Structure formats: C-alpha cells, structure tokens
Amino acid sequence: MSKAEHNPEKLQEVDVESVSSGSLGDVYSNAVEGKATNFQAYVNVVSVLAGAGTLGLPAALRDAGWVGLVILALACAMAIYGNQKLIQCLYYDGRTRLREYPDVAHAAFGVVGRIVVTFFYNSIALGGPVLYLILTGTNIHDLASSVGSTITLKQWIMIAAAVMVVPIVLTKTMREVAFLSIFGALSTAIVVVIVTIASIINSKDLDLVTKPNGAVEPIHHEAAIARNLPLALATFAFSYGGNVIFPHVEESMKNKRSWNKIVTLGIMTVTVLYIMCSTSGYAVYGDIVKSPIYLNLPGGATRTISTIIITLHVLLAIPLFLTTFNLQIETALKLESRGFSAKTEFVYRAVIRTLSMVLCATIALFFPYFGQMMSLLGALSDGMLTFVFPIAFYLKLYGFRKVHKLELVVMILVVVIGTATSVIGTIDAVKELAKAFHGELD
C-alpha cells in the first residue's frame, strides 16, 4: 500500500458529503468490480449477523429489565451508523479503495492501529469457536442426559472438538466454508420462531415457579436494572458483531452505492429477530430465563428440534471462525511460498489447525459458561469493533473539520458510550465469569 494512501494531507481532496451519499464515481470505478446483486449482499449481511448469540438476548433483557429494549434499539442505531462509516473509510483518499478493516486501522493509526484491530478481531476468531464448543457440548449433554447418558459436559466438548478438527484441517480457504453462514442465519430464524411460539404456548402453565434457591414464587420482571445496562449493551454488541466481514461483502457488490441501504435493511432485519426472541422470552420466563432461551422450554419435541438445529448451526459455524484465524497464521508464516511439497504443506497446515482447535477446546473446558462468555466477547471485542473504531478511524481519516457539528456530537456520544460499555461491560463480564467458575451464580 503506497504512502499516499496513508497520508492525511490527501484527505483534503475528498468531499466527505459525496462519500456519504455514495457519489464518488471515480473511486467506485477503480474498485474491484463485484458481481453480487443488492439482494445477495443483503443476505450476506443478515447471514453474518444472525447467529446463535440471538438466543442469549432474553437473558440480556433479564439482566437489564424492560429498558433493555431501548438499549437494543440504541445498539441497532449505533451498529448501522458505525458500519456505514467503516465502508466510507475504505474510500477516504478519493481515488483508491482499501481492502479490509485492518487496512483502515493502518491508514488511520499506522502499525499500532493494525495491531489493535487484529488483536480484537482474533479474540473473536478464537472466542467464537470457544463459545460454540460450549453451546454444542451443553446441547448434546442436555439431549443425551434425557436418554440416560452419563457422558459429562466436558467430555462432550472434547468429542465435538475432535469431530470438528477434521473439516477444519481439510478445508483450505474461506471460499469452501462461506456458504455455511447462510445455513446459520436460516437455522437461527427457524429456532427464534419455534421458541417464540413455544414460549407463548408455555406461558399459560407458568404461574408460580421454583426458583434456583428452592422458593416457589411468581415470575418477576423489572422495568430497569441500571447497574447491568453496560453488560446488556455488551451482549447486544455481540449480536451485532461481524463487521470485519463487511468490507468483503461491500467489495463483492455490483452496485456499491447501495451499501448504506443494504446494511441498514440487513441490521433492521436481524433486529426484528432479536426483538421477537428477547421480548417473548423475557415476557414469559422473566427472571428465570436462561441463555440460550430454548433451555427454558419443557422437554419434548419442540425443545429437541430447537436444540438439534442450533447444534448443527454452531458446529458448522466453527470452521468459519477458525479458518479465518488459521489463514492469518499461515499467511504470516508464508506457508504457500516456502516451496514445500503438497504433502508437507498439508502436514504443517494440519498441525497449525489442530493446535488452534486444542487451544479453543482447552478454554471451553475451563470456562464452559455460554452466557458469560458471550457477554465477555461482546464487551471486550465486538463493542470496540462495531461501535468505537469505525467512528474513531473516520474522524482521523477525514478530520474533525470535515464533519458537521451536529454529527460530530453524535460521533462523540457513540464513541463515549461504546468505550464505556466495553470497559464496564468487560469488568462486569469477567466478574460474572469468575462467579460462574466458582459456582456462585444462582
């Protein structure tokens, strides 16, 4: 990448308003010509966002109270705004297009920016498989225990890791696993509908319930729990995470000027799923709602079907995360350019990818707590990548003077809220994880 592309003086040549409205014809003509239609890009955005994290949102509402719906709406608006600004940063110099998120960080803050973004991104690339191994082990343990199996949760996690290391080793590039994200979005949507309907049906049988402490009490709802709002926003941030993929989605588009519209429609679509799942789950189960929500459903076909569908989804999502992580390591080691034979290269790749799975499995074995791990990932990484960094990079690349005063106020608020959420949410998530580890949660 040339020095000119990273020279802030070049920013004076760019009309920020024209970038925002998508009218930089010269820049778009120099970008890679995509083939994806607007609808295909929309599907890709939804597929990236609509993951198993959706099923943990009722618990976020439990932690925050009904005001959590306002926090969800705020997270939605911040995600839309941040993802629009991120893509605008790709065209900041007015002539060429940066390729991906770390390139934007590098253009804004040099090597330090790239390192920071890479760290947060890789925490998700490794944290996602950890989270999904936990959920897979929990689901299979739940199903197997109902038919008398004595295999423990940790043993199921190890079995899942051993099974999934095979496709991870055999899959060489992202192209071979990308289609799995579409299955993930469909499976999540199906389970949300199933859980929503089943929760409403089940509500008539939930008058008094036995709480974890053994007391029989009515289900309780809170309007607001102020101390938990940062943790709730962190959980919502996890559900809007994935924007490291969006530069590639936009690059694939035939009509790149439609990005703002497409990302808005995509995020609004998954927000509808989030509202359906969180509202119905919290309304019915209140302070006893679990993460993931289908663990509240009574045993039977509905719960079994939901569990099987989501288990298949998270198993197939693991290669998406780990392949991305492993490709970075293999690229850094220049594995393909060392002149190895195909057999030797495969052996090296197999060792690297097996070790990455062992690392994920080890973390999952020590911290098999789905809800707490999801909150930690959301606070630590997704909050910064989704809410804070796109705005900070935009301001650095375009300059404060190029932004209208009212919008500058909005940007500062987003950065402050996002940063505070990440810091406070991470601290709270670590505390909750520690409590779960020591068996102190109800």
At 62-112, the pLDDT tens digits run 989 999 999 999 999 999 999 999 999 999 988 788 888 999 999 999 999
Confidence label for 22 from pLDDT (cuts 50, 70 and 90)? very low
Which is higher by pLDDT, 377 or 141?
A: 141
Residue carrying structure tokens 């934007």: 104
What pLDDT does 127 receive?
82
Q: What mean pLDDT do residues 375-401 have?
A: 87
* pLDDT tens, position by position, 145-162: 888 888 999 999 999 999
The kind and range of the H/E element at 307 are helix 301-332
Give dist(CA 196, CA 129) in Å, integer. 26
Residue 137 zone, left/alpha/beta (φ > 0; ψ -120 to 50; rest): alpha
What pLDDT does 442 receive?
54
DSSP assignment of 136-165: HHHHHHHHHHTTT----HHHHHHHHHHHHH
Which is higher by pLDDT, 120 or 440?
A: 120
Query: C-alpha 172: how far from its chain's center?
Result: 23
CATH code reported for the domain at 3-437: 1.20.1740
Tokens coding 244: 């490291």
Which is higher by pLDDT, 431 or 76?
A: 76
Which is higher by pLDDT, 327 or 359?
A: 359
* pTM for the model: 0.78
What pLDDT does 210 receive?
57
What pLDDT does 5 receive?
42
Give dist(CA 244, CA 263) in Å, integer. 13
Q: With beta carbons less than 8 A apart as the criterion, state whether 8 and 397 touch.
A: yes
Q: Residue 87: name the closest of 237, 241, 254, 244 by CA.
A: 244
Confidence label for 260 from pLDDT (cuts 50, 70 and 90)? very high
Characterize 327-351 residue by residue with b for buried, 16 or more Cβ atoms within 10 angstroms of its Cβ, and e for exposed: beebeeeebeeeeeeeeebeeebee
Q: Return the ∠ at Cα 291 (arms to 285 and 296), rounded to 5°.
A: 40
Q: What mean pLDDT do residues 177-204 have?
A: 76
* pLDDT tens, position by position, 284-326: 888 888 878 878 887 778 888 888 888 887 787 788 778 878 8
* pLDDT tens, position by position, 218-247: 788 899 998 888 878 877 887 888 788 888
pLDDT of residue 21 exceeding 60, the answer is no
What pLDDT does 11 receive?
38
Q: Return the ∠ at Cα 429 (arms to 151 and 313), rounded to 5°.
A: 45
Tokens coding 287: 């302070």
* pLDDT tens, position by position, 25-35: 556 666 667 78
Taking CA atoms, 382 is separated from 79, 117, 192, 234, 285, in Å, by 10, 11, 22, 8, 28
